[in-house]
Chain A
Amino acid sequence: MFFKKKKNVNEETAPQHTEKCGGDSCGCQQADGFDQVIKKPLDRRSALKGLTAGLLAGTGFLNSSCSVTAGDTDKELASLKWDEYFKGNYQLMTAEEKKATVARLEKMYALNNGGKINISDKGAAKDVLYGYAFNISKCQGYMDCVNACVEENNQDRDSQMQYIRIHEFKKGQMNFEMADDNFYHEVPAAGHFYMGTQCFHCENPPCVDVCPVKATWKEKDGIVVIDYDWCIGCRYCQAACPYDGRRFNWSTPHVPENELNKDQHYLGNRPRKKGVMEKCTFCIQRSRSGENPACVEACPTGARIFGNLLDPNSTIRWVIENKKVFRLKEDLGTEPKFWYFMD
Protein backbone atom coordinates (compact mmCIF):
# COMPACT_ATOMS: atom_id res chain seq x y z
CA MET A 1 0.00 0.00 0.00
CA PHE A 2 2.66 2.40 1.03
CA PHE A 3 4.60 1.86 -2.13
CA LYS A 4 1.59 2.46 -4.24
CA LYS A 5 0.78 5.72 -2.53
CA LYS A 6 4.32 6.83 -2.69
CA LYS A 7 4.35 6.16 -6.38
CA ASN A 8 1.34 8.41 -6.84
CA VAL A 9 3.05 11.23 -5.07
CA ASN A 10 5.97 10.82 -7.37
CA GLU A 11 3.81 10.74 -10.44
CA GLU A 12 2.02 13.92 -9.50
CA THR A 13 5.00 15.91 -8.52
CA ALA A 14 7.89 14.65 -10.54
CA PRO A 15 6.84 16.11 -13.92
CA GLN A 16 6.12 19.52 -12.41
CA HIS A 17 9.46 19.34 -10.89
CA THR A 18 11.39 18.80 -14.06
CA GLU A 19 9.54 21.12 -16.37
CA LYS A 20 9.41 24.05 -13.96
CA CYS A 21 12.18 25.18 -11.72
CA GLY A 22 15.19 23.07 -12.35
CA GLY A 23 17.74 25.51 -11.04
CA ASP A 24 18.54 29.13 -10.39
CA SER A 25 18.46 29.91 -14.10
CA CYS A 26 14.71 30.02 -14.39
CA GLY A 27 14.50 33.04 -12.17
CA CYS A 28 11.84 32.03 -9.73
CA GLN A 29 12.04 32.75 -6.03
CA GLN A 30 13.80 29.49 -5.20
CA ALA A 31 13.83 26.27 -7.11
CA ASP A 32 13.93 24.16 -4.04
CA GLY A 33 10.59 22.45 -3.67
CA PHE A 34 8.76 25.73 -4.30
CA ASP A 35 6.55 24.22 -6.92
CA GLN A 36 5.90 21.15 -4.87
CA VAL A 37 4.22 23.27 -2.27
CA ILE A 38 2.82 26.28 -4.07
CA LYS A 39 1.54 24.68 -7.25
CA LYS A 40 -0.04 21.83 -5.35
CA PRO A 41 -3.52 21.89 -3.89
CA LEU A 42 -3.19 21.87 -0.14
CA ASP A 43 -4.04 18.24 0.29
CA ARG A 44 -1.18 17.30 2.51
CA ARG A 45 -1.55 19.79 5.24
CA SER A 46 -5.00 21.04 6.02
CA ALA A 47 -5.87 24.10 3.97
CA LEU A 48 -6.70 26.13 7.04
CA LYS A 49 -3.45 25.38 8.80
CA GLY A 50 -1.46 26.07 5.69
CA LEU A 51 -3.21 29.36 5.06
CA THR A 52 -2.92 30.74 8.55
CA ALA A 53 0.61 29.59 9.07
CA GLY A 54 1.61 30.79 5.63
CA LEU A 55 0.08 34.22 6.17
CA LEU A 56 1.65 34.59 9.57
CA ALA A 57 5.02 33.40 8.41
CA GLY A 58 4.83 35.46 5.24
CA THR A 59 4.06 38.64 7.10
CA GLY A 60 6.92 37.94 9.47
CA PHE A 61 9.43 37.22 6.71
CA LEU A 62 8.31 40.19 4.64
CA ASN A 63 8.39 42.44 7.62
CA SER A 64 12.00 41.70 8.36
CA SER A 65 13.24 41.27 4.80
CA CYS A 66 11.84 44.60 3.53
CA SER A 67 12.24 46.59 6.69
CA VAL A 68 14.70 49.44 6.54
CA THR A 69 15.54 49.06 10.19
CA ALA A 70 16.42 45.33 10.09
CA GLY A 71 20.16 44.59 9.77
CA ASP A 72 21.78 42.62 6.97
CA THR A 73 21.93 39.51 9.12
CA ASP A 74 18.24 39.73 9.86
CA LYS A 75 17.47 40.16 6.21
CA GLU A 76 19.61 37.21 5.23
CA LEU A 77 18.03 35.09 7.93
CA ALA A 78 14.58 36.07 6.82
CA SER A 79 15.29 35.13 3.25
CA LEU A 80 16.79 31.81 4.30
CA LYS A 81 13.76 31.14 6.46
CA TRP A 82 11.50 31.95 3.56
CA ASP A 83 13.25 29.44 1.32
CA GLU A 84 13.27 26.84 4.07
CA TYR A 85 9.58 27.30 4.66
CA PHE A 86 8.71 26.47 1.09
CA LYS A 87 11.10 23.61 0.53
CA GLY A 88 9.77 20.21 -0.41
CA ASN A 89 9.70 16.76 1.12
CA TYR A 90 13.23 15.40 1.36
CA GLN A 91 12.23 12.25 -0.52
CA LEU A 92 11.31 14.31 -3.56
CA MET A 93 14.30 16.61 -3.55
CA THR A 94 16.92 16.35 -6.24
CA ALA A 95 20.55 16.08 -5.24
CA GLU A 96 21.01 19.84 -5.78
CA GLU A 97 17.97 20.67 -3.69
CA LYS A 98 19.32 18.51 -0.88
CA LYS A 99 22.63 20.32 -1.05
CA ALA A 100 20.82 23.66 -1.08
CA THR A 101 18.71 22.98 1.99
CA VAL A 102 21.69 21.60 3.87
CA ALA A 103 23.66 24.74 3.01
CA ARG A 104 20.79 26.94 4.17
CA LEU A 105 20.47 25.08 7.46
CA GLU A 106 24.19 25.38 8.09
CA LYS A 107 24.11 29.06 7.21
CA MET A 108 21.13 29.68 9.46
CA TYR A 109 22.92 28.02 12.33
CA ALA A 110 26.00 30.14 11.72
CA LEU A 111 23.96 33.35 11.66
CA ASN A 112 21.97 32.42 14.74
CA ASN A 113 24.68 30.88 16.88
CA GLY A 114 27.95 31.97 15.33
CA GLY A 115 29.26 28.42 15.12
CA LYS A 116 29.66 25.91 12.35
CA ILE A 117 27.76 22.66 12.00
CA ASN A 118 28.19 20.02 9.29
CA ILE A 119 24.97 18.56 7.99
CA SER A 120 25.42 15.56 5.74
CA ASP A 121 23.00 14.40 3.07
CA LYS A 122 24.87 11.14 2.45
CA GLY A 123 22.53 8.61 0.89
CA ALA A 124 22.24 4.86 1.32
CA ALA A 125 25.11 2.74 -0.04
CA LYS A 126 24.57 -0.14 -2.43
CA ASP A 127 24.44 -3.68 -0.99
CA VAL A 128 23.87 -2.48 2.55
CA LEU A 129 20.93 -3.36 4.81
CA TYR A 130 21.54 -2.52 8.43
CA GLY A 131 20.68 -4.93 11.21
CA TYR A 132 21.18 -5.02 14.94
CA ALA A 133 21.51 -7.75 17.54
CA PHE A 134 21.23 -7.46 21.30
CA ASN A 135 22.65 -9.99 23.74
CA ILE A 136 20.30 -10.26 26.71
CA SER A 137 22.81 -12.34 28.66
CA LYS A 138 25.36 -9.57 28.49
CA CYS A 139 23.40 -6.38 29.16
CA GLN A 140 24.01 -5.32 32.76
CA GLY A 141 21.78 -2.24 32.92
CA TYR A 142 24.71 0.20 32.99
CA MET A 143 22.87 2.75 30.81
CA ASP A 144 26.08 3.87 29.08
CA CYS A 145 24.28 3.45 25.75
CA VAL A 146 21.54 5.87 26.75
CA ASN A 147 24.07 8.52 27.72
CA ALA A 148 25.96 8.10 24.48
CA CYS A 149 22.77 8.24 22.42
CA VAL A 150 21.57 11.46 24.05
CA GLU A 151 24.92 13.13 23.44
CA GLU A 152 25.35 11.86 19.90
CA ASN A 153 21.86 12.65 18.73
CA ASN A 154 21.34 16.04 20.38
CA GLN A 155 18.26 14.99 22.27
CA ASP A 156 16.41 17.57 24.29
CA ARG A 157 18.02 17.86 27.69
CA ASP A 158 15.11 19.59 29.41
CA SER A 159 12.54 16.87 28.77
CA GLN A 160 15.18 14.15 29.26
CA MET A 161 14.31 12.60 25.95
CA GLN A 162 15.83 9.15 25.44
CA TYR A 163 15.48 6.88 22.41
CA ILE A 164 16.69 3.78 24.25
CA ARG A 165 14.86 2.20 27.13
CA ILE A 166 16.56 -0.35 29.35
CA HIS A 167 14.04 -2.62 31.04
CA GLU A 168 14.84 -4.57 34.18
CA PHE A 169 13.07 -7.92 34.44
CA LYS A 170 12.83 -10.22 37.40
CA LYS A 171 14.27 -13.54 36.35
CA GLY A 172 11.64 -16.11 35.39
CA GLN A 173 9.53 -13.92 33.11
CA MET A 174 9.81 -11.43 30.31
CA ASN A 175 6.66 -9.42 30.76
CA PHE A 176 7.06 -5.80 29.72
CA GLU A 177 4.12 -4.85 31.94
CA MET A 178 6.09 -6.07 34.94
CA ALA A 179 9.43 -4.64 33.86
CA ASP A 180 11.03 -1.90 35.90
CA ASP A 181 12.21 0.90 33.63
CA ASN A 182 13.12 3.15 36.56
CA PHE A 183 15.60 1.05 38.45
CA TYR A 184 17.59 2.99 40.98
CA HIS A 185 20.26 0.76 42.49
CA GLU A 186 23.56 -0.84 41.64
CA VAL A 187 23.42 -3.04 38.58
CA PRO A 188 23.14 -5.82 37.69
CA ALA A 189 20.75 -6.48 40.58
CA ALA A 190 20.71 -10.05 41.84
CA GLY A 191 17.92 -12.12 40.31
CA HIS A 192 17.30 -9.67 37.46
CA PHE A 193 18.16 -9.34 33.82
CA TYR A 194 18.15 -6.38 31.43
CA MET A 195 16.93 -5.74 27.95
CA GLY A 196 17.08 -2.66 25.76
CA THR A 197 14.48 -1.47 23.28
CA GLN A 198 14.55 1.34 20.73
CA CYS A 199 13.29 1.77 17.17
CA PHE A 200 13.76 -1.61 15.49
CA HIS A 201 13.78 -0.28 11.94
CA CYS A 202 11.07 -2.66 10.80
CA GLU A 203 11.27 -3.89 7.21
CA ASN A 204 7.49 -3.56 7.16
CA PRO A 205 7.07 -0.47 9.35
CA PRO A 206 3.48 0.37 10.37
CA CYS A 207 4.63 3.84 11.43
CA VAL A 208 5.45 4.63 7.81
CA ASP A 209 2.11 3.35 6.52
CA VAL A 210 0.08 5.68 8.72
CA CYS A 211 1.92 8.96 8.16
CA PRO A 212 -0.59 11.18 6.31
CA VAL A 213 2.12 13.42 4.81
CA LYS A 214 4.88 10.89 4.03
CA ALA A 215 7.20 12.58 6.48
CA THR A 216 8.62 9.22 7.55
CA TRP A 217 9.86 6.41 5.35
CA LYS A 218 12.28 3.51 5.05
CA GLU A 219 15.54 4.27 3.29
CA LYS A 220 17.19 1.79 0.89
CA ASP A 221 19.62 0.66 3.57
CA GLY A 222 16.68 -0.15 5.84
CA ILE A 223 16.87 2.83 8.19
CA VAL A 224 13.46 4.30 9.02
CA VAL A 225 13.85 8.07 9.00
CA ILE A 226 11.81 11.23 9.55
CA ASP A 227 11.92 14.51 7.64
CA TYR A 228 11.63 16.85 10.63
CA ASP A 229 10.66 19.72 8.36
CA TRP A 230 7.80 17.81 6.77
CA CYS A 231 6.37 16.21 9.89
CA ILE A 232 3.14 17.87 11.04
CA GLY A 233 3.30 16.32 14.48
CA CYS A 234 0.06 14.35 14.30
CA ARG A 235 1.69 11.47 16.21
CA TYR A 236 -0.13 8.82 14.17
CA CYS A 237 3.19 7.03 13.78
CA GLN A 238 3.75 6.96 17.50
CA ALA A 239 0.40 5.28 17.96
CA ALA A 240 1.12 2.83 15.15
CA CYS A 241 4.49 1.68 16.45
CA PRO A 242 4.05 -1.49 18.47
CA TYR A 243 7.45 -1.09 20.10
CA ASP A 244 7.38 2.35 21.74
CA GLY A 245 10.04 3.38 19.26
CA ARG A 246 9.07 7.03 18.68
CA ARG A 247 9.41 10.20 20.72
CA PHE A 248 7.58 13.51 20.38
CA ASN A 249 8.90 17.00 21.03
CA TRP A 250 6.36 18.64 23.29
CA SER A 251 8.54 21.71 23.62
CA THR A 252 11.40 23.25 21.69
CA PRO A 253 14.35 20.91 22.20
CA HIS A 254 17.29 22.45 23.96
CA VAL A 255 20.92 21.37 23.82
CA PRO A 256 23.62 23.53 25.43
CA GLU A 257 25.88 24.97 22.73
CA ASN A 258 29.01 23.29 24.12
CA GLU A 259 27.30 19.90 24.20
CA LEU A 260 25.93 20.08 20.67
CA ASN A 261 27.19 17.35 18.36
CA LYS A 262 28.04 19.32 15.25
CA ASP A 263 28.50 16.32 12.95
CA GLN A 264 24.98 15.93 11.75
CA HIS A 265 22.80 14.37 9.11
CA TYR A 266 19.63 15.83 7.61
CA LEU A 267 17.74 12.67 8.51
CA GLY A 268 19.56 12.16 11.78
CA ASN A 269 20.72 14.29 14.67
CA ARG A 270 20.29 17.79 13.28
CA PRO A 271 18.38 20.03 15.67
CA ARG A 272 14.68 19.30 15.73
CA LYS A 273 11.91 21.69 16.62
CA LYS A 274 8.83 21.75 18.75
CA GLY A 275 5.98 19.52 17.65
CA VAL A 276 7.82 16.98 15.52
CA MET A 277 8.57 13.33 15.92
CA GLU A 278 12.03 11.85 16.35
CA LYS A 279 13.58 8.47 17.16
CA CYS A 280 16.62 6.26 16.79
CA THR A 281 18.10 6.42 13.27
CA PHE A 282 20.81 3.81 13.89
CA CYS A 283 22.94 6.99 14.19
CA ILE A 284 22.60 7.56 10.44
CA GLN A 285 25.32 10.24 10.55
CA ARG A 286 27.74 7.62 11.87
CA SER A 287 26.57 4.37 10.30
CA ARG A 288 26.57 5.73 6.75
CA SER A 289 30.25 6.54 7.20
CA GLY A 290 31.08 3.00 8.30
CA GLU A 291 31.12 3.77 12.00
CA ASN A 292 29.18 1.93 14.69
CA PRO A 293 26.16 3.65 16.25
CA ALA A 294 26.94 5.47 19.50
CA CYS A 295 25.17 2.86 21.66
CA VAL A 296 27.27 0.05 20.17
CA GLU A 297 30.44 2.00 20.78
CA ALA A 298 29.47 2.95 24.34
CA CYS A 299 28.36 -0.47 25.61
CA PRO A 300 31.13 -1.83 27.82
CA THR A 301 29.78 -5.37 27.69
CA GLY A 302 29.62 -5.93 23.93
CA ALA A 303 25.91 -6.70 24.18
CA ARG A 304 25.19 -4.62 21.07
CA ILE A 305 26.10 -5.80 17.58
CA PHE A 306 25.53 -3.81 14.41
CA GLY A 307 26.34 -4.50 10.79
CA ASN A 308 25.37 -5.20 7.21
CA LEU A 309 22.83 -8.00 6.82
CA LEU A 310 23.69 -8.45 3.16
CA ASP A 311 27.33 -9.24 3.89
CA PRO A 312 27.74 -12.95 4.68
CA ASN A 313 31.05 -12.15 6.39
CA SER A 314 29.55 -9.67 8.83
CA THR A 315 29.26 -10.40 12.54
CA ILE A 316 25.55 -9.59 12.53
CA ARG A 317 25.03 -12.38 10.00
CA TRP A 318 27.06 -14.77 12.12
CA VAL A 319 24.88 -14.02 15.12
CA ILE A 320 21.64 -14.52 13.21
CA GLU A 321 22.84 -17.75 11.68
CA ASN A 322 24.58 -19.28 14.70
CA LYS A 323 22.79 -18.08 17.82
CA LYS A 324 19.20 -18.75 18.82
CA VAL A 325 17.60 -15.42 18.06
CA PHE A 326 14.15 -13.95 18.40
CA ARG A 327 12.45 -10.67 17.68
CA LEU A 328 9.68 -8.94 19.60
CA LYS A 329 6.06 -9.43 18.47
CA GLU A 330 7.07 -11.34 15.35
CA ASP A 331 3.46 -12.32 14.75
CA LEU A 332 2.59 -8.72 13.84
CA GLY A 333 4.56 -9.06 10.63
CA THR A 334 6.46 -5.82 11.22
CA GLU A 335 9.73 -7.66 10.53
CA PRO A 336 12.03 -5.71 12.83
CA LYS A 337 15.72 -5.72 11.91
CA PHE A 338 16.60 -6.04 15.59
CA TRP A 339 17.28 -9.49 17.00
CA TYR A 340 17.69 -10.61 20.60
CA PHE A 341 19.82 -13.55 21.61
CA MET A 342 21.42 -15.19 24.61
CA ASP A 343 24.88 -16.64 25.15
Chain B
Amino acid sequence: MDKIKNSSSYRHSLFISRHSRAGGNPLEWSTVFGQVTAYAGITGFIGFVLLLTTSCSGPSHNDHSPLVQIEKHSNSNIEYSVSSDPFTYGIEKVAVTNSEKDTLFFIPNRVNHLVSFPCNNCHTQALGNMVSDDPSGKKAHWNIKLNHATDEALTCLTCHSSNDVEYLRLNNEKEIHFNQSQKVCAQCHSTQSNDWVGGAHGKIIGGWAPPRVSNTCVNCHDPHSPAFETRWPSRLNTVKIQELDPK
Protein backbone atom coordinates (compact mmCIF):
# COMPACT_ATOMS: atom_id res chain seq x y z
CA MET B 1 0.00 0.00 0.00
CA ASP B 2 2.87 2.37 0.63
CA LYS B 3 3.64 2.14 -3.03
CA ILE B 4 0.22 3.33 -4.00
CA LYS B 5 0.37 6.27 -1.68
CA ASN B 6 3.86 7.35 -2.57
CA SER B 7 3.21 7.19 -6.27
CA SER B 8 0.89 10.18 -6.05
CA SER B 9 2.23 13.29 -7.65
CA TYR B 10 1.38 16.82 -6.62
CA ARG B 11 -0.50 17.51 -9.81
CA HIS B 12 -2.50 14.37 -9.44
CA SER B 13 -3.59 15.08 -5.90
CA LEU B 14 -4.71 18.57 -6.85
CA PHE B 15 -6.71 17.18 -9.69
CA ILE B 16 -8.45 14.75 -7.46
CA SER B 17 -9.21 17.09 -4.63
CA ARG B 18 -10.89 19.52 -7.01
CA HIS B 19 -13.52 16.93 -7.69
CA SER B 20 -15.58 16.73 -4.58
CA ARG B 21 -17.01 13.29 -5.38
CA ALA B 22 -13.54 11.85 -5.37
CA GLY B 23 -13.12 12.80 -1.74
CA GLY B 24 -12.66 9.14 -1.00
CA ASN B 25 -9.27 8.89 -2.61
CA PRO B 26 -6.58 8.05 -0.10
CA LEU B 27 -4.26 10.40 -1.90
CA GLU B 28 -5.99 13.17 -0.03
CA TRP B 29 -4.75 12.08 3.33
CA SER B 30 -1.55 10.55 2.12
CA THR B 31 1.98 11.87 2.32
CA VAL B 32 1.15 14.87 0.16
CA PHE B 33 -1.51 15.96 2.58
CA GLY B 34 0.24 19.19 3.42
CA GLN B 35 0.22 20.35 -0.15
CA VAL B 36 -3.51 20.09 -0.48
CA THR B 37 -4.55 21.27 2.95
CA ALA B 38 -6.28 24.33 1.55
CA TYR B 39 -8.36 22.32 -0.86
CA ALA B 40 -9.01 19.62 1.64
CA GLY B 41 -10.11 22.26 4.12
CA ILE B 42 -12.63 23.73 1.72
CA THR B 43 -13.90 20.35 0.63
CA GLY B 44 -14.08 19.32 4.23
CA PHE B 45 -16.13 22.38 5.16
CA ILE B 46 -18.53 21.92 2.28
CA GLY B 47 -18.75 18.27 3.13
CA PHE B 48 -19.56 19.20 6.74
CA VAL B 49 -22.35 21.54 5.71
CA LEU B 50 -23.74 18.93 3.33
CA LEU B 51 -23.57 16.37 6.05
CA LEU B 52 -25.51 18.63 8.42
CA THR B 53 -28.19 19.45 5.88
CA THR B 54 -28.71 16.09 4.28
CA SER B 55 -27.92 13.38 6.73
CA CYS B 56 -26.92 12.75 10.26
CA SER B 57 -25.58 9.29 9.78
CA GLY B 58 -24.18 9.14 6.25
CA PRO B 59 -20.89 7.34 5.81
CA SER B 60 -17.78 9.42 5.27
CA HIS B 61 -16.93 9.90 1.64
CA ASN B 62 -13.65 8.17 2.23
CA ASP B 63 -15.43 4.87 2.52
CA HIS B 64 -16.13 5.01 -1.18
CA SER B 65 -12.59 4.14 -2.21
CA PRO B 66 -11.51 0.52 -2.45
CA LEU B 67 -8.05 1.70 -1.48
CA VAL B 68 -9.39 3.04 1.79
CA GLN B 69 -11.31 -0.18 2.31
CA ILE B 70 -8.06 -2.05 1.79
CA GLU B 71 -6.28 0.21 4.23
CA LYS B 72 -8.96 -0.09 6.89
CA HIS B 73 -10.11 -3.66 6.56
CA SER B 74 -7.13 -5.67 5.32
CA ASN B 75 -6.69 -8.87 7.24
CA SER B 76 -3.88 -11.32 6.72
CA ASN B 77 -5.60 -14.04 8.74
CA ILE B 78 -8.91 -14.31 6.96
CA GLU B 79 -10.79 -17.47 7.83
CA TYR B 80 -12.25 -18.45 4.51
CA SER B 81 -15.41 -20.50 4.40
CA VAL B 82 -14.73 -21.29 0.76
CA SER B 83 -11.74 -22.94 -0.88
CA SER B 84 -10.43 -23.51 -4.37
CA ASP B 85 -10.12 -27.23 -3.68
CA PRO B 86 -13.43 -28.31 -5.26
CA PHE B 87 -12.42 -26.56 -8.47
CA THR B 88 -8.96 -28.09 -8.74
CA TYR B 89 -10.17 -31.53 -7.81
CA GLY B 90 -8.27 -34.19 -9.72
CA ILE B 91 -5.25 -31.99 -10.43
CA GLU B 92 -2.19 -33.39 -8.73
CA LYS B 93 -0.40 -30.41 -7.22
CA VAL B 94 3.28 -29.63 -6.79
CA ALA B 95 4.44 -26.91 -4.42
CA VAL B 96 6.36 -23.86 -5.60
CA THR B 97 8.73 -22.79 -2.84
CA ASN B 98 10.89 -19.77 -2.18
CA SER B 99 14.57 -19.92 -1.22
CA GLU B 100 13.56 -20.53 2.43
CA LYS B 101 11.59 -23.60 1.28
CA ASP B 102 8.25 -22.07 2.29
CA THR B 103 5.43 -23.10 0.01
CA LEU B 104 4.20 -20.10 -1.98
CA PHE B 105 1.50 -21.77 -4.06
CA PHE B 106 0.90 -24.87 -6.19
CA ILE B 107 1.30 -25.81 -9.83
CA PRO B 108 -0.07 -28.88 -11.65
CA ASN B 109 2.16 -31.92 -11.70
CA ARG B 110 3.95 -31.90 -15.05
CA VAL B 111 5.40 -35.36 -15.54
CA ASN B 112 1.93 -36.95 -15.33
CA HIS B 113 1.11 -35.19 -18.56
CA LEU B 114 4.30 -35.84 -20.51
CA VAL B 115 3.30 -38.52 -23.02
CA SER B 116 6.65 -40.29 -23.24
CA PHE B 117 7.88 -39.82 -19.70
CA PRO B 118 10.03 -41.37 -18.26
CA CYS B 119 12.50 -40.94 -21.08
CA ASN B 120 14.42 -44.10 -20.21
CA ASN B 121 11.51 -46.11 -21.58
CA CYS B 122 13.31 -45.54 -24.88
CA HIS B 123 16.66 -43.99 -24.07
CA THR B 124 19.44 -45.80 -22.28
CA GLN B 125 22.13 -43.28 -23.05
CA ALA B 126 22.69 -39.81 -21.72
CA LEU B 127 21.52 -37.05 -24.03
CA GLY B 128 25.07 -35.73 -24.40
CA ASN B 129 26.15 -39.00 -26.04
CA MET B 130 23.29 -39.00 -28.52
CA VAL B 131 23.94 -35.58 -30.00
CA SER B 132 25.43 -35.79 -33.45
CA ASP B 133 26.40 -33.23 -36.07
CA ASP B 134 25.67 -35.65 -38.90
CA PRO B 135 22.74 -34.14 -40.84
CA SER B 136 21.94 -37.53 -42.44
CA GLY B 137 21.58 -39.14 -39.05
CA LYS B 138 18.21 -40.29 -37.73
CA LYS B 139 16.24 -37.60 -35.96
CA ALA B 140 14.41 -38.50 -32.80
CA HIS B 141 11.50 -36.24 -31.81
CA TRP B 142 11.36 -35.00 -35.37
CA ASN B 143 8.13 -33.20 -34.59
CA ILE B 144 9.87 -30.84 -32.20
CA LYS B 145 11.09 -27.70 -33.92
CA LEU B 146 12.98 -25.32 -31.75
CA ASN B 147 11.42 -21.92 -32.28
CA HIS B 148 12.65 -20.24 -29.15
CA ALA B 149 15.23 -17.45 -29.20
CA THR B 150 17.98 -18.16 -31.77
CA ASP B 151 20.22 -21.17 -32.51
CA GLU B 152 23.05 -19.17 -31.04
CA ALA B 153 21.30 -18.75 -27.74
CA LEU B 154 19.60 -22.12 -27.31
CA THR B 155 20.20 -25.75 -28.18
CA CYS B 156 18.54 -28.87 -26.72
CA LEU B 157 21.30 -29.10 -24.16
CA THR B 158 20.70 -25.58 -22.87
CA CYS B 159 17.62 -26.82 -21.04
CA HIS B 160 17.95 -30.62 -21.10
CA SER B 161 20.60 -32.27 -19.00
CA SER B 162 23.35 -33.91 -21.05
CA ASN B 163 23.97 -36.50 -18.29
CA ASP B 164 20.51 -37.75 -17.48
CA VAL B 165 17.60 -37.61 -19.92
CA GLU B 166 15.11 -37.54 -17.04
CA TYR B 167 16.23 -34.10 -15.96
CA LEU B 168 16.35 -30.53 -17.09
CA ARG B 169 19.37 -28.39 -16.54
CA LEU B 170 20.19 -25.00 -15.05
CA ASN B 171 23.04 -22.76 -16.18
CA ASN B 172 25.13 -23.83 -13.23
CA GLU B 173 24.83 -27.46 -14.44
CA LYS B 174 22.46 -28.31 -11.61
CA GLU B 175 19.88 -30.89 -12.63
CA ILE B 176 16.23 -29.97 -12.25
CA HIS B 177 13.16 -32.19 -12.19
CA PHE B 178 10.54 -31.67 -14.90
CA ASN B 179 8.05 -30.67 -12.20
CA GLN B 180 10.22 -27.64 -11.41
CA SER B 181 10.69 -26.53 -15.01
CA GLN B 182 9.78 -22.94 -14.12
CA LYS B 183 13.26 -22.60 -12.64
CA VAL B 184 14.77 -23.18 -16.06
CA CYS B 185 12.58 -20.48 -17.63
CA ALA B 186 13.25 -18.01 -14.81
CA GLN B 187 16.96 -17.88 -15.62
CA CYS B 188 16.31 -15.69 -18.66
CA HIS B 189 12.75 -14.51 -18.05
CA SER B 190 13.21 -13.10 -14.59
CA THR B 191 10.71 -10.27 -15.03
CA GLN B 192 7.98 -12.66 -16.14
CA SER B 193 8.97 -15.01 -13.36
CA ASN B 194 8.61 -12.33 -10.69
CA ASP B 195 5.25 -11.31 -12.11
CA TRP B 196 4.19 -14.95 -12.16
CA VAL B 197 5.12 -15.56 -8.54
CA GLY B 198 3.31 -12.36 -7.54
CA GLY B 199 0.28 -13.19 -9.67
CA ALA B 200 0.37 -10.62 -12.48
CA HIS B 201 1.60 -13.05 -15.14
CA GLY B 202 0.08 -16.43 -15.86
CA LYS B 203 -3.17 -17.91 -14.83
CA ILE B 204 -4.72 -19.06 -11.61
CA ILE B 205 -6.76 -22.18 -12.17
CA GLY B 206 -9.77 -23.22 -10.16
CA GLY B 207 -10.70 -20.48 -7.78
CA TRP B 208 -9.61 -17.15 -6.36
CA ALA B 209 -9.90 -18.55 -2.83
CA PRO B 210 -6.87 -20.17 -1.23
CA PRO B 211 -5.06 -22.50 -1.78
CA ARG B 212 -3.69 -20.84 -4.89
CA VAL B 213 -3.07 -23.16 -7.85
CA SER B 214 -1.44 -21.49 -10.86
CA ASN B 215 -0.53 -22.77 -14.26
CA THR B 216 3.21 -23.07 -14.63
CA CYS B 217 5.09 -21.67 -17.65
CA VAL B 218 4.82 -24.81 -19.78
CA ASN B 219 1.09 -25.20 -19.19
CA CYS B 220 0.52 -22.22 -21.49
CA HIS B 221 3.76 -21.88 -23.47
CA ASP B 222 5.25 -24.72 -25.49
CA PRO B 223 8.86 -24.47 -24.31
CA HIS B 224 10.07 -25.32 -27.82
CA SER B 225 7.91 -22.65 -29.40
CA PRO B 226 6.66 -20.36 -26.65
CA ALA B 227 4.98 -17.56 -28.59
CA PHE B 228 1.18 -17.47 -28.95
CA GLU B 229 -0.14 -17.84 -32.50
CA THR B 230 -2.59 -15.50 -34.14
CA ARG B 231 -6.04 -17.02 -34.66
CA TRP B 232 -9.67 -16.14 -35.28
CA PRO B 233 -11.60 -14.83 -32.31
CA SER B 234 -13.78 -17.56 -30.83
CA ARG B 235 -16.86 -15.51 -31.57
CA LEU B 236 -17.72 -12.27 -33.24
CA ASN B 237 -19.06 -9.16 -31.71
CA THR B 238 -22.84 -8.77 -31.65
CA VAL B 239 -23.03 -6.06 -34.25
CA LYS B 240 -20.81 -7.94 -36.65
CA ILE B 241 -22.99 -11.03 -36.55
CA GLN B 242 -26.05 -8.93 -37.35
CA GLU B 243 -24.23 -7.26 -40.21
CA LEU B 244 -23.10 -10.55 -41.66
CA ASP B 245 -26.40 -12.34 -41.18
CA PRO B 246 -29.24 -9.82 -41.30
CA LYS B 247 -32.53 -11.54 -40.61
Chain A residues with CB under 8 Å of chain B are 1, 3-4, 7, 125, 127-129, 131, 133, 135, 138, 140-144, 146-147, 159-162, 165-166, 181-184, 186-188, 203-204, 222, 287-292, 296-297, 299-302, 305-323, 330-333, 335, 337, 341, 343
Contact = CB atoms under 8 A, between A and B. Distances in A.
A156 B75 CA distance: 40
B228 A182 contact: no
B223 interface: no
Interface in B65-102: 65-66, 69-70, 73-76, 78-84, 86-87
Contacts of B70: 129, 309-310, 317
A162 B238 contact: yes
B188 interface: no
Interface residues on B, range: 35 or more
B206 A291 contact: yes
Contact of A4 (B55, B201, B209, B233): B55
Contacts of B236: 143, 182, 184
B98 to A, nearest CB: 13
A195 to B, nearest CB: 14
A300 B233 CA distance: 12
A287 B208 contact: yes
6 contacts: A291-B86, A302-B215, A305-B200, A310-B75, A319-B198, A333-B24
B36 to A, nearest CB: 15
B82 to A, nearest CB: 3
Nearest to A185: B232
User: 5 closest Cβ contacts across the A-B interface?
Assistant: A315-B199, A290-B82, A333-B21, A290-B209, A302-B203
A315 B215 CA distance: 14
B237 interface: yes
Contacts of B195: 323, 343
B20 to A, nearest CB: 8
Interface centre among A159, A166, A314, by most B CB within 10 Å?
A314
Nearest to A299: B203
B108 interface: no
Contacts of B79: 127
A204 B3 contact: no
B140 interface: no
Contacts, number: 204
Given A287-B208, A290-B208, A310-B70, A142 B233 contact: yes
A1 B54 CA distance: 8
Given A1-B55, A187-B231, A203 B24 contact: yes
Given A135-B200, A308-B78, A319-B198, A290 B59 contact: no
A310 B73 contact: yes
Contacts of B57: 3-4, 7
A70 to B, nearest CB: 37
Nearest to B12: A330
Contact of A318 (B64, B87, B200): B200
Interface centre among A135, A301, A323, A335, by most B CB within 10 Å?
A335
A315 B200 contact: yes
Nearest to A204: B64
B240 A305 contact: no
Contacts of A138: 201
Contacts of A300: 220
A174 to B, nearest CB: 18
B19 A129 contact: no
B64 A335 contact: yes
B21 A322 contact: no
Given A3-B59, A7-B57, A310-B78, A320 B4 contact: yes
Contacts of B3: 321-322
B212 interface: yes
Nearest to A341: B200
Contacts of B139: none
A125 B82 contact: yes
A337 B131 CA distance: 54
A301 B75 contact: no
Interface string B216-247: 00001000000010111111111111110000
A312 B240 CA distance: 42
A203 B207 contact: no
B4 A321 contact: yes
A3 B195 CA distance: 39
Contacts of B228: 140, 301
B114 interface: no
A143 B44 CA distance: 45
B202 interface: yes
